[in-house]
Structure 1
Amino acid sequence: MSVFTYHLVKTDYFSALRILFSSPKSRNIPGLIHAEIMTVMTLGSPIFSPSRMLIRQIAVFAQWEDESNIENFLAKDSLGKILSEGWHTRLTFMRKWGKFNKFEIPDETTESENPDSPVVAVTIARMKFLEIPRFIHWGRPVEKLVRDHPATTLSLASIKFPNTVSTFSIWKNQKEMTDMVHGHSKVPKPKRHADAMKERDRKDFHFEFTTLRFKPISEFGEWNGQRNIIPYLKNS
């Protein structure tokens, strides 16, 4: 079974731009199925603000044949060595909605043995350019909902020009996450996500879009001075 990783690292402007414009090719990295490299954004921040797009912060979402390939990449590849200075989590697939090309997403689903165990959610989409203003209108309230939700331990967005957008969030347990999705959370304006999904169903924002749910199996490193970001996992 393949393993997914999500990496976060802060670097200098030159290195960040070089990474963004030289995305790794799976044929050149043993065991890599596909990777998306993006610039980190702050969820819910104003569109025109310095905090919206954090140029020096890089997010990488990748799929691998197995963990030995991840270890080899982090130890020997030039990009891998940079990413090894940041934080990452390793993930096993549980469930998907939608479709996104290049990743090899299984059709079968698995359920967590423990409903109180943490889950990770990743969304990734290719935007329709003319729908971006409408997407921002409906999407920013959802960003704020996820950002401020008491059941998330880390949440952020990311972007790759011209039209790839993504979100990443760690949830204390699956029920809290699904309650948020369906508008049942005990927070102000809980239906923001459900309302946005209805609008997407009415008229899609994307060429392709998927929401993925994962079981985290390990985490490594530090992000913004924090370790042990995922509940019940040991930090390495």
Structure 2
Amino acid sequence: MSVFSYHLVKTNYFDAFKFLLFPPKQNKIPGLIHSEVMTAMTLGSPIFSPSRMLIRQVAVFAQWENEEAIDHFLDENHFGKILAKGWHTRLTFMRKWGKFNKFEIPAETTEFENPDSPVVAVTIARMKFLEIPRFIHWGRPVEKLVRDHPATTLSLASIKFPNTVSTFSIWKTQKEMTDMVHGHSKVPKPERHADAMKERDRKDFHFEFTTLRFKPISEFGEWNGRRNIIPDLKNQ
């Protein structure tokens, strides 16, 4: 079974632009199925602000044949060695909604044995250019909902020009995440996510879009001075 990983690293401007322009190629990285290299963004920040686009912060979402391929990449590849200086988590696929090309997403789904287990959610989409203003209008309230939610331990957005956008969030429990999705959270304006999904169903913002849910296996390194970001996992 394949394994996914999500990486965050702060680097210099030169390396950040280089990796965005020339991301790892599947046929040159042993065991890599597909990866998306993106620039990190602050969820909910104003569109035109320094915190919206964090150019030196690189986010990578990848699928691998196995964990040995991740280890080899981080130990032997130039880009991998830079990513190894940051933070990453390894993930087991649980379920999906929607579709996104290039990733080999399993058709079967797996249920969590314990609804109080931590869960990682990743969304990734390719935007329709003419729908970007609508997407921003409906999306920013959802970003703030996720960013400020007491059940998230880490949440961020990322972008790859011209039209790939993604979010990443770690939740203390699966139940708290699903409560947020359905508008049942005990927070101000809990219906923001549910309302945005209704609007997307009415008229899609995207060419392709998927929401993926994962069980975290492990985490490595440090991000913004923090370790043990995922509850109940031993940091390494």
Give the 5 Å matches for 1:45-56: 45-56=45-56
Matched, 1:70 2:67: no
Q: Which residue of 1 aligns with 2:111?
A: 111
User: What's the secondary structure of 1:79's corresponding residue?
Assistant: helix
Deviations 1:48-68 (A, max 9, x none): 000000000000000000000
Q: Counterparts of 1:31-42 in structure 2 under 5 Å? A: 31-42=31-42
Secondary structure of 1:229's aligned partner? coil
Partners of 2:155 and 2:175 in 1: CA distance = 17
Are positions 1:153 and 2:153 aligned together? yes
Aligned twin of 2:127: 127
Q: Matched residue of 1:58: which SS?
A: strand
| TM-aligned CA deviation for residue 113 of structure 1 | 1.1
**Residue 160 (structure 1) shift:** 0.1
CA RMSD of aligned residues (A): 0.3
CA distance in 1: counterparts of 2:173 and 2:57, whole angstroms = 27
Residue type at the aligned position of 2:197: M
- Matching residue's letter, 1:135: F
Taking structure 2 as the reference length, the TM-score comes to: 1.00
Deviations 1:176-207 (A, max 9, x none): 00000000000000000000000000000000
Structure 1 unpaired stretches of 5+: none
CA distance in 1, matches of 2:139, 2:229: 25
1:15 aligns with 15
> Could you tell me how far 1:136 is from its partner in structure 2?
0.1
Matched, 1:226 2:195: no
Q: How many residues align?
A: 236
Q: Superposition pairs for residues 154-193 of structure 1, below 5 Å?
A: 154-193=154-193
Measure the CA separation in 1 of the matches of 2:129 and 2:138. Answer: 15
Alpha-carbon separation, structure 2, partners of 1:160 and 1:154? 20
Specify the alignment match of 1:29 in structure 2.
29
Residue 86 of structure 2 corresponds to residue 86 of structure 1: yes
Which letter maps to 1:32? L
Distance in 2 between residues matched to 1:103 and 1:93, nearest whole Å: 12
Q: Which residue of 2 aligns with 1:200?
A: 200
Q: Percent identity over the alignment? A: 85
In the TM superposition, what is the alpha-carbon distance from 1:114 to its structure 2 partner? 1.4
Q: Which secondary structure does the structure 1 equivalent of 2:170 belong to?
A: strand
Question: C-alpha separation between the residues in 2 aligned to 1:234 and 1:227?
Answer: 9
Q: Which runs of 5+ in 2 are unaligned?
A: none
Runs of 4+ with >2 A deviation? none
